[in-house]
Chains A and B, each alone.
Chain A
Amino acid sequence: MRHFKIGPLDVILLVLLAAGVGYLAYVVEARMNYTWRWDAMPKYLAYYDEEKGRWVANFLLQGLFATIRISILATILGSVLGLLMGLARTSRSGLLRLLGTGYVELVRNLPPLVLVFIFYFFFSDYIAQVLGLDDAVRHAPDWLQNVMRVVLAEPSRFTAFLSAAITIALYEGAFITEIVRAGIQSVEYGQWEAAYALGLSRWQRLRHVVLPQAFTRIVPPLAGQFISTIKDSSIVSVISVSELTFQGMELMASTYLTFEIWITVALLYFSMTFTLSMLARRLETSLARRLG
Chain B
Amino acid sequence: MKAWRFIQVTALIGAIMIFVVNSAQAESVRNQLAQESTIEQVLQRGVLKVGMDTFVPWAMKNTKGQLIGFEIDVAKQLAQDLGVEVEFVPTKWSGIIPALLTGKFDVIIGGMSTTTERNLKVNFTVPYNYTGQAIVANKNLAPGLSTLEDFNRDDFTVAARTGSTAAEAARKFLPKAKLVLFDTEPAALQEILNDKAHVFVSSAPLPAFQAIEHPDTLYLPFKDTITKEPTSFAVRKGDVDTLNIFNNWIRRKELEGWLQERALYWFNTRDWADQVE
Nearest CB on B from A135, distance (A): 8
B interface footprint on A5-46 (CB within 8 Å = 1, 0 otherwise)? 000000000000000000000000000111000001001100
Q: Does A250 contact B (CB under 8 A)?
A: yes
Q: Does A121 contact B (CB under 8 A)?
A: yes
Q: Is the contact region of chain A dominated by helix, strand, or loop, or is it mixed?
A: helix
B186 and A258 form a contact (CB under 8 A): yes
B64 and A47 form a contact (CB under 8 A): yes
Q: Which of B182-234 contact A (CB under 8 A)?
A: 183-187, 189-190, 193-195, 214, 216-217
Q: Report how many A-B pairs have Cβ atoms within 8 Å.
A: 76
Q: Does B63 contact A (CB under 8 A)?
A: yes
A253 and B102 form a contact (CB under 8 A): no
**Residues of chain B at interface, number, CB under 8 A:** 38
A254 and B214 form a contact (CB under 8 A): no
A interface footprint on B164-196 (CB within 8 Å = 1, 0 otherwise)? 000000000000000000011111011001110
A47 and B193 form a contact (CB under 8 A): no
A238 and B95 form a contact (CB under 8 A): yes
Q: Does B34 contact A (CB under 8 A)?
A: no
Q: Does A252 contact B (CB under 8 A)?
A: yes
Question: Given A121-B102, A124-B104, A255-B277, A33–B193 Cβ distance below 8 Å?
Answer: yes
**With the chains together, A220 CA to B60 CA distance in Å?**
43
A238 and B64 form a contact (CB under 8 A): no
Q: Does A148 contact B (CB under 8 A)?
A: no
Q: Which of B38-57 contact A (CB under 8 A)?
A: 45, 47, 49, 53-56
**With the chains together, A250 CA to B90 CA distance in Å?**
9
Contacts of A47 in B (CB 8 A): 63-64
**With the chains together, A256 CA to B99 CA distance in Å?**
26
CB closest residue in chain A, given B189:
A256
Which one of A138, A240, A253 contacts B186 once the chains associate, using CB atoms below 8 Å? Answer: A253
B65 and A242 form a contact (CB under 8 A): no
Question: Given A33-B217, A59-B65, A124-B104, A253–B184 Cβ distance below 8 Å?
Answer: yes
Q: Does A283 contact B (CB under 8 A)?
A: no
Q: Does B89 contact A (CB under 8 A)?
A: yes
CB closest residue in chain B, given A242:
B90
Q: Does B83 contact A (CB under 8 A)?
A: no
CB closest residue in chain B, given A117:
B95
Q: Does B36 contact A (CB under 8 A)?
A: no
Interface residues of A (CB under 8 A from B): 32-34, 40, 43-44, 47, 49, 58-59, 62, 121, 124-125, 129, 138, 156-157, 160, 238-240, 242, 246, 249-256, 258
What are 7 contact pairs spanning A and B, CB under 8 A?
A33-B193, A40-B277, A44-B63, A121-B102, A125-B103, A250-B54, A253-B53
Interface residues of B (CB under 8 A from A): 45, 47, 49, 53-56, 60-61, 63-65, 87, 89-92, 95, 98-99, 102-104, 183-187, 189-190, 193-195, 214, 216-217, 276-277
